[in-house]
């Protein structure tokens, strides 16, 4: 009798313990390990999974040959503004395979028929949110979302010339895979993880100059994850010139100030 009670008691205890462990893991997962991807990064992954890069080239930056097309190649997202006036046009291209205004043009129809490749309409395969993510990715890749402030613009330029955009993606906005790192990706500058890593300008400078902030360098748990990752933030102290850090910081501040917007004037769509 006593042993039965004891067994029931210990099973209950065990269940409680398991529940507690489960909750602790859940808390750790949601606060520390759970990936928090931006729309741009979700769009990049979506584009990869939906065959966009087969025609538009690696990350949409180098369209493949398209015999029969006047330009001879599929457009790259970098030449976006020859095809789209704004975000809404980009959405229509992806959803319908053409914009409403261009669909009316006889010359467009002729050149489409003459070419080997056609832009598929993804509206039936993907839902509105997935298409929004693709639009965010295409807009980020196009480079059309540029800061008006000249210092921030210079920062974007330096990020590209110094090679930052290799790991951090176009404009510092991708989350490329980084195996064995804490979240599994290189944190983008406009992502929700950024404030965890960079509290202020001082920490930003530390990351760029030394490849790590002092706060992270002194934290054994953070150091463990930084060390076991494949990609590491390099130290640029010897390579940044006077004014570079100001410019980079201005750019990142602009990026984080809200959703960047394309600045193209309406009516730039070519016939």
Torsion angle of the four alpha carbons 133, 138, 140, 143, in this order, in degrees rounded to the nearest 10: -170
Annotate 236-266 with b (16+ C-beta within 10 A) or e (fewer).
Answer: beeebeeebbebbbbbbbbbeeeebebebee
Between CA 182 and CA 261 the distance in angstroms is: 31
**The two three-digit tokens of residue 143, written as one number:** 């480079």
Smallest distance, ligand HEC to C-beta of residue 243, A: 13
Smallest distance, ligand HEC to C-beta of residue 5, A: 53
Neighbours of 39 (CB within 10 A): 20
Q: Which is nearer to ligand HEC, 3 or 31 (CB)?
A: 31
Smallest distance, ligand HEC to C-beta of residue 266, A: 16
Q: Which is nearer to ligand HEC, 22 or 192 (CB)?
A: 192
Contact 131, 89 (CB under 8 A): no
Q: Which is nearer to ligand HEC, 21 or 255 (CB)?
A: 255
Smallest distance, ligand HEC to C-beta of residue 30, A: 19
Token pair 């462990």 is at which residue?
A: 21
Smallest distance, ligand HEC to C-beta of residue 98, A: 6
Q: Which is nearer to ligand HEC, 62 or 178 (CB)?
A: 178
Token pair 């979240």 is at which residue?
A: 183
Smallest distance, ligand HEC to C-beta of residue 25, A: 23
Annotate 124-154 with b (16+ C-beta within 10 A) or e (fewer).
Answer: eebeeebbbbbbbbbbbbbbbbbbeeebbbb
Q: Which is nearer to ligand HEC, 16 or 271 (CB)?
A: 271
What would you measure as the largest C-alpha separation in the chain, in angstroms?
A: 91
- From residue 155, give the alpha-carbon distance in Å to each of 39, 89, 239, 248, 255: 23, 29, 14, 4, 11
Q: Which is nearer to ligand HEC, 2 or 271 (CB)?
A: 271
Residues that bind ligand HEC (CB under 6 A): 47, 50-52, 54-56, 66, 74-75, 77, 79-80, 83-84, 90, 93-94, 112, 117-120, 122, 134, 138, 159, 162-164, 166-168, 178, 181, 186-187, 189, 193-194, 197-198, 204, 207-208, 226, 229, 231-234, 236, 248
Q: Which is nearer to ligand HEC, 20 or 114 (CB)?
A: 114
Contact 131, 95 (CB under 8 A): yes
Smallest distance, ligand HEC to C-beta of residue 147, A: 16
């Amino acid at each position: 009798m006593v042993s039965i009670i004891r067994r029931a008691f210990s099973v209950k205890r065990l269940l409680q313990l398991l529940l507690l462990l489960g909750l602790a893991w859940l808390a750790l997962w949601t606060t520390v390990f759970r990936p928090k991807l931006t729309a741009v990064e979700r769009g990049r992954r979506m584009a990869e999974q939906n065959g966009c890069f087969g025609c538009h080239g690696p990350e949409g930056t180098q369209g493949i040959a398209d015999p029969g097309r006047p330009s001879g190649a599929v457009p790259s997202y970098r030449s976006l503004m020859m095809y789209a006036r704004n975000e809404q046009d980009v959405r229509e291209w992806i959803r319908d395979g053409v914009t409403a205004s261009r669909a009316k043009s006889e010359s467009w129809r002729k050149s489409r028929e003459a070419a080997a490749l056609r832009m598929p309409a993804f509206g039936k395969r993907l839902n509105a949110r997935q298409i929004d993510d693709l639009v965010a990715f295409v807009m980020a890749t196009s480079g059309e979302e540029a800061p008006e402030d000249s210092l921030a613009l210079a920062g974007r330029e330096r990020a590209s010339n110094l090679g930052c955009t290799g790991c951090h993606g176009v404009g510092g906005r991708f989350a490329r895979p980084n195996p064995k790192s804490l979240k599994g990706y290189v944190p983008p500058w406009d992502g929700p993880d950024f404030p965890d890593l960079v509290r202020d300008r001082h920490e930003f400078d530390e990351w760029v100059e030394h490849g790590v902030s002092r706060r992270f360098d002194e934290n054994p748990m953070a150091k463990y994850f930084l060390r076991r990752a494949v990609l590491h933030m390099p130290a640029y102290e010897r390579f940044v010139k006077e004014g570079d850090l100001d410019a980079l910081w201005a750019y990142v501040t602009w990026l984080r100030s809200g959703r960047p917007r394309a600045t193209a004037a309406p009516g730039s769509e070519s016939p």
